[in-house]
Structure 1
Amino acid sequence: MRGTKYKVLALLKQSKAIVSGEALAKELHVSRTAVWKAIRDLDKMGYQIDHLANGYRFISSNVLEAEEIAFSSLLSENILIEKSIDSTMNVAKLAAMNHQATPALFLTETQSGGRGRYGRPFFSPEGQIYMTLLLEPNQTFAELPQYTLLTAVAVALAIDEATGKSCSIKWVNDLFLDGKKVCGILSEAMSDFETGQISHVTIGIGLNFSIKPEAFPQELQTIATSLFPESSPTITRNELIQNIWRNFFELLDGLPDTAYLDYYRNKSFVIGKVVNFTQRGVNYTGKALRITDAGELVVQTTAGEMTLSSGEVSLSTIDGKQLK
């Protein structure tokens, strides 16, 4: 039966017109009852299918599909989708140890152990975007591209195109829309002890796709949002995911061109603001001056200019507004 429902789905996708149950049964050499059961199973899986008097018609759906995400730089056989896992980052790291072909993308509908920087847990309802890209750069740490910044730019470009709005970036790895967090990015490296090379890099993205404001936990309602909090999405998750990674690989292929850094700086809502941060257990307050070519944040404090790298600090407030 599993084979039949996917064959039915493929035929419906291929046709722009209404397809009768009889035509589907004839094409697949199965009974009308088998077609009806296949359609019912597809409905349960979340596919949008019009049930009409003269047949069925496929409507663009929000079900994650490798074939709909894949493109030349990211092959469908290297896109792995699960219903529920603990964390796409953990699954990607395990896959790296098992010699998974790269680049590879791991996605899930929901995760029980999702985490951000410093191991912070985060809200992970179904129907959003939780994914990790696995790369195999085999470079030294100094040779690595600035993956977090590249990814932030790739996501920002995709969000702006999808929503018609202009998102902003909180240095170094969070994206905001309408003043609230909509996406977080986490990049981590795995090293080869013998060679000293970075063998693998994992880039995790948690993006709120469509969540009504009241569906967030009370403590998040004033600081978090989604791309489509009130209206129906104008793009599918598959399309958005593909756009993100298309942007990413185009930027990566364009290196050493650093035009993406200017875009990142223009998107930053930190520059020129008063920020509070903690570094090595000491609290500081200062004005964010600029972002360097290395992606570091330069802050003017009473102790002088301080240059912050992404791994050292966590910004706590900007212009007095608490950040999470």
Structure 2
Amino acid sequence: MFSSHDLELVARSFVADVDYHPELGSTNDRALELARCESVPHPLLVLAARQSRGRGRGTNQWWAADGALTFSVLFDCQDFSLPQFLLPQLSLWTGLAVRDALEDVCEAEDASAAFTVKWPNDIYLDGRKVCGVLSESVSTYPGRVVVGIGINVNNRFANSSEPVPEDLQITAASLREVVGRELSVVDVLCTVLDQLQRRWIECASGVTDLQAAWKPHCYLRGRRVTWQTAQAEFIGTCQGLNEDGALVLEENGVCHVCVGGTIVHVQ
């Protein structure tokens, strides 16, 4: 649960308003609902102490037990002077922002952790997923975007008091497991919001090269990757991103540029 003092701290960030719920099915669904209202204040933070039906990309679900941080930010491109043609890069910049924030949080706790970003925006630590991001556009207002973020902060995947899906016991990790003690979820949220503002401004201004910013933190670089769409599949070794943020896979000297689609297997 977030106290009134916690919400006051969050409100000091770049958001214009906070829509808080002790429990919510999906923060993205709530944000998309609010986004259809012309007069909704934005940027708007939709925050849930607990989320019961979180969504990931495609048909994926986001499992969030007590101690997880789940929220969505609804904003308009004009809030950050962001040209709409740069929207496809927004997820990438969001992933970098969260990665930076989680590293800051761990450094503040005297814990060293090398977080990486799996294209387009999942955050990994030692091969285990710590955070997922889901960006969605608003059909009725083309300039509006909802960015949903789920971070494993204090939830446990081993020795948990709640039943944990078997696959997550192997593939997921939390900040608590890294630091060795419980963290302030509101401090994590405020740090993430600060980095989101910084990276989204960078995206809009073009002052930072996306390729260069991504390269040292690329989880897939040098790995054999299977990329898939409804129409095609390609297997190759990841070379990183091109200048537009598309994933580049190489096989037998031929490079394939992957736009959209899903990574279905990593070696």
TM-score (norm 2): 0.85
CA distance in 2, matches of 1:165, 1:260: 22
The residue type paired with residue 207 of structure 2 is D
C-alpha contact (below 8 Å) 2:19/2:45 kept by paired residues: yes
SS of residue matched to 1:107 = strand
More off after superposition, 208-217 vs 87-96: 208-217
> Could you say if the C-alpha distance between residues 64 and 271 of structure 1 is closer, same or farther in structure 2, counting changes exceeding 3 Å?
farther
Report percent identity of matched pairs. Answer: 24
The residue type paired with residue 208 of structure 2 is T
1:131 shift after superposition: 0.5
C-alpha contact (below 8 Å) 2:25/2:54 kept by paired residues: yes
> Could you say if the C-alpha distance between residues 96 and 64 of structure 1 is closer, same or farther in structure 2, counting changes exceeding 3 Å?
farther
Counterpart in 2 of 1:266? 216
1:157 matches 2:96: no
CA distance in 1, matches of 2:62, 2:255: 33
SS of residue matched to 1:198 = coil
Tell me which of 165, 169, 188 is aligned to 1:221.
Answer: 169
1:257 matches 2:201: no
CA distance in 2, matches of 1:307, 1:241: 34
C-alpha contact (below 8 Å) 1:189/1:200 kept by paired residues: yes
Tell me which of 113, 130, 138 is aligned to 1:182.
Answer: 130
CA distance in 1, matches of 2:2, 2:191: 22
CA distance in 1, matches of 2:216, 2:243: 14
1:134 matches 2:99: no
1:200 matches 2:144: yes
SS of residue matched to 1:118 = coil
Counterpart in 1 of 2:14? 73
Q: 1:105-144 to 2 correspondence within 5 Å?
A: 105-137=45-77, 141-144=84-87
CA distance in 2, matches of 1:244, 1:261: 21
Counterpart in 1 of 2:90? 147
1:295 shift after superposition: 0.9
SS of residue matched to 2:264 = strand
Counterpart in 2 of 1:42? none
**Which string of whole-angstrom CA distances, capped at 9 and with x for unpartnered residues, describes residues 91-142 of structure 1?**
0011111231000100112222211000311212122111000011267742
CA distance in 1, matches of 2:245, 2:5: 33
CA distance in 2, matches of 1:283, 1:253: 34
1:145 shift after superposition: 6.7
The residue type paired with residue 188 of structure 1 is E
SS of residue matched to 1:109 = strand
1:303 shift after superposition: 9.3
Counterpart in 2 of 1:277? 227
Counterpart in 2 of 1:14? none
**Which string of whole-angstrom CA distances, capped at 9 and with x for unpartnered residues, describes residues 224-260 of structure 1?**
0101127213x41111111111111122233211245
> Could you say if the C-alpha distance between residues 97 and 117 of structure 1 is closer, same or farther in structure 2, counting changes exceeding 3 Å?
same
SS of residue matched to 1:105 = strand
C-alpha contact (below 8 Å) 2:133/2:148 kept by paired residues: yes
The residue type paired with residue 166 of structure 2 is Q
Tell me which of 282, 287, 308 is aligned to 2:258.
Answer: 308
Gaps of 5+ in 1: 1-44, 48-62, 320-324
Tell me which of 84, 94, 99 is aligned to 2:33.
Answer: 94
Gaps of 5+ in 2: 107-111
**Which string of whole-angstrom CA distances, capped at 9 and with x for unpartnered residues, describes residues 125-182 of structure 1?**
1221110000112677424372111111111111111123110111112100122000
**Which string of whole-angstrom CA distances, capped at 9 and with x for unpartnered residues, describes residues 68-110 of structure 1?**
21225224xx112101111000100111112310001001122
Size of the alignment, in residue pairs? 251
SS of residue matched to 1:90 = helix
Select the structure with the greater relative contact order (CA < 8 A; seq sep ≥ 6): 2
**Which string of whole-angstrom CA distances, capped at 9 and with x for unpartnered residues, describes residues 297-317 of structure 1?**
0111359321112x3x21122
1:186 shift after superposition: 0.8
SS of residue matched to 1:239 = helix
CA distance in 2, matches of 1:217, 1:191: 34
The residue type paired with residue 226 of structure 1 is S
SS of residue matched to 2:171 = coil
C-alpha contact (below 8 Å) 1:64/1:237 kept by paired residues: no
Tell me which of 105, 109, 116 is aligned to 1:168.
Answer: 116
CA distance in 1, matches of 2:156, 2:130: 12
TM-score (norm 1): 0.71
SS of residue matched to 2:15 = coil
